[in-house]
Chain A
Amino acid sequence: MYRKMVLIRRFEEMAGKQYMQASIGGFCHLYIGQEAVAVGIISALRPDDYVMGTYREHGQILAVGSDPKAIMAELFGRETGISRGKGGSMHLFDRERNFMGGDGIVGGGLPIATGVGLAIRYRGGDQVCVCFFGDGAVNEGAFHEALNMAALWKLPVIFVCENNLYGMGTQVTRASAVPDLNRRVSGYGMESAHVDGMDLLAIRALSDDVVAECRAGRGPWFIEAKTYRYRGHSMADPATYRTKDEVEEWRVRDPISIYEKQLLGAGLITDEEIRGISAEIDAVVDESVKFAEESPFPQADALYDHVYASGE
């Protein structure tokens, strides 16, 4: 888990750098600061469980174990990208790992996750579907419709609100009449929990319980993880709507530093091992950039590929 969090942090720092150098285009939403949420929850899953991501999903797809090289190549828009260069930063997919995509529409993933939950139940399986979304999504109609439907049918879906306090530049208190999400969700007759999104072990412990509940047919569940993105909404956002002090307050509670201290305190890791992991991850990230840079752009005929699965 430590390794995954460091990988996400370094990968995202590199993505930001590559964006500034114009190697990456379009919108690019970094996950820095939120690492513990994806890693804590996804590490509690089995490989046959499903994950529905958001447009801030680089961290989520790295957490399911997808190849950093293929992800970086996708950001670079190359043929070797995880979505063959057709998706970009917001649309990373990995069917082999049941990662059902980054979704560029706020709240758009919730009804789909409900459908995945329905399919799991239809087949009599005991998998779960984890659906990530942000605090901005809770005021979409899709949120209401999906939560009601999932709760009505008791589907094995875990709705995870990554509450980073801002929907783009709008603070939660300026957007939600009832900012306390657990209170809102209680109206759907759904179990819910609130967790510190900077505390990996707390998230993991809660996730173990919630996943077990959903596997046992006692879903759906709602998890609110209070977290913080250190960067702006996207690379195009200087984040002038919040103070430096606020950002600093959160940085003190950095999820990676907290977990690192816990590991050191428990004698589970040494400073030397930390340095080793750091060097190793830097090499992985550098290699992903090298791979992306050396990969070809998609062939011209790829323009027309994959419009229809029937091939027309």
Chain B
Amino acid sequence: MPILTYREALNQALREEMRADPDVFLIGEEVAEYQGAYKVSEGLLAEFGARRVIDTPISEEAIAGAGVGAAMAGLKPVVEMMTVNFSLLALDQIVNHAAKYYYMSGGQYNVPMVMRAPTGVGLQLGAQHSQNFESWFVHVPGLKVVLPATPADAKGLLKSAIRDPDPVIFLEHELIYLSKGEVPAEDYAVPLGVADVKREGADVTIITYSRMTLFALKAAERLAERGISAEVVDLRTLRPLDIDTVVESVRKTHRAVVCEEDWPMCGMAAEVIAQIQTEAFDDLDAPILRVSGVDVPMPYAKNLEKMAVPGEEDVYQACLRVTEGHRD
């Protein structure tokens, strides 16, 4: 299988879907001439022209609204927000409009739109550019929320998101654009709403998504050296949530650690833990732990930022606690 970066995989998905469906177009700040702030849209203007790869003013609310309107008129816009931080300026269009139209029109107007955005911590980008908002979007019925961890999933999920009849929030972790992985050469799509067991194990289930999946897999390697067999479940889609795969795994391992880069308060991990204890309380041999970002705005200083961002070591220690009852 070809080895691609996460960014190349996303670019391929856009290119293939735009070739396959003339109603698909890309719109956002710096997506055309500049070829994307993170270069995801490299080469697309040259191939598809300015009609289908559209640079916009810095007007996030109007960009998202343009996507909603075009989708209601039957097109399939892929709206790029330069980062998820700026999507907050477009929340009215996403939450009050995109997420609502199908329901409040009694099924007349669906909104087949994808909002893509880089998400997560960067490298010393400070408090306004290092955030995760998946739990905000996940909170809203009517939206679907996808956070791929690997190049293969990034490509396959973006293709499904573009083909989907509903508004999909597609969040790409900005620190893994250059990560590499095998990507099938043939045409494929990864269905929305299906978690993936990225590593099988027997002693503890690590449930996570996005970049934390990569840390979980590394932690699982180290745990194996110690004789602890960890299963890693990558949620991939947070809404609709594939709780069945999670519960099936927890019933097998009897222990769970849920990991997110996001802040802990009312976050995705809290939701997953609530659902596990509802569905599988009797199967648990230990309290469920969560690994989250530290509950502060992101500091700039390198040493402080390192303390605020969860990583492999945090996952590893949490797994030790639920299996051996202590941290190292």
Residue numbers of A with Cβ under 8 A of B are 50, 52, 81-88, 91, 93-95, 100-101, 103-105, 108, 110-120, 122, 129, 141-142, 145-146, 148-149, 152, 305-310, 312
Contact = CB atoms under 8 A, between A and B. Distances in A.
Given A122-B75, A145-B59, A308-B166, A95 B108 contact: yes
Contacts of A141: 61
B68 A115 contact: yes
Contacts of B164: 310
B106 A82 contact: yes
Contacts of B105: 83, 86-87, 91, 93, 95, 101, 306
B48 interface: no
A85 B103 CA distance: 10
B65 A142 contact: yes
A54 to B, nearest CB: 14
Given A93-B106, A101-B109, A148-B57, A111 B193 contact: no
A244 B93 CA distance: 39
B72 A307 contact: no
B68 A87 contact: no
Contacts of A119: 69-70, 73-75
B287 interface: no
B69 A115 contact: yes
B67 interface: yes
Interface string B86-117: 00000011001100011111111110100000
Interface of B: 25, 51, 54, 56-57, 59, 61-75, 77, 92-93, 96-97, 101-110, 112, 141-142, 144, 164-166, 193, 240
Contact of B165 (A112, A117, A309): A309
A308 B166 CA distance: 6
Nearest to A305: B107
A116 B109 CA distance: 13
17 contacts: A86-B106, A87-B104, A93-B109, A95-B109, A103-B97, A111-B65, A112-B65, A112-B72, A112-B97, A114-B66, A115-B67, A118-B54, A118-B66, A119-B70, A142-B92, A145-B57, A152-B57
Contact of A307 (B63, B65, B71, B142): B142
Nearest to A127: B73
Contacts of B65: 108, 110-112, 114-115, 142, 145-146
Contacts of A145: 57, 59, 61-62, 65
A63 B182 CA distance: 57
Given A105-B92, A111-B64, A149-B56, A50 B101 contact: no
Given A129-B69, A142-B92, A149-B66, 10 more contacts: A95-B109, A100-B69, A105-B97, A108-B65, A108-B93, A115-B66, A115-B72, A118-B66, A122-B25, A145-B61
Nearest to B101: A101
Given A113-B69, A118-B69, A152-B57, A306 B62 contact: no
A306 B57 contact: no
A95 B51 CA distance: 26
A122 B106 CA distance: 27
A245 B105 CA distance: 40
A61 to B, nearest CB: 12
Tell which of A50, A113, A148, A149 has the most Cβ of chain B within 10 Å.
Answer: A149
A312 B240 CA distance: 8
Contacts of B166: 308-310
Given A142-B61, A149-B56, A114 B69 contact: yes
A81 B62 contact: no
A310 B166 CA distance: 7
Which residue, of B69, B71, B164, has the highest number of chain A Cβ atoms within 10 A?
A: B69
Contacts of A110: 62, 65
A87 B107 CA distance: 11
B106 A81 contact: yes
A114 B66 CA distance: 6
Given A152-B57, A306-B102, A146 B73 contact: no
Given A116-B70, A308-B166, A309-B110, A146 B62 contact: yes
Contacts of B109: 93, 95, 100-101
B61 A111 contact: yes
Contacts of B67: 115
Given A114-B69, A116-B73, A307-B141, A108 B96 contact: yes
Nearest to A157: B69
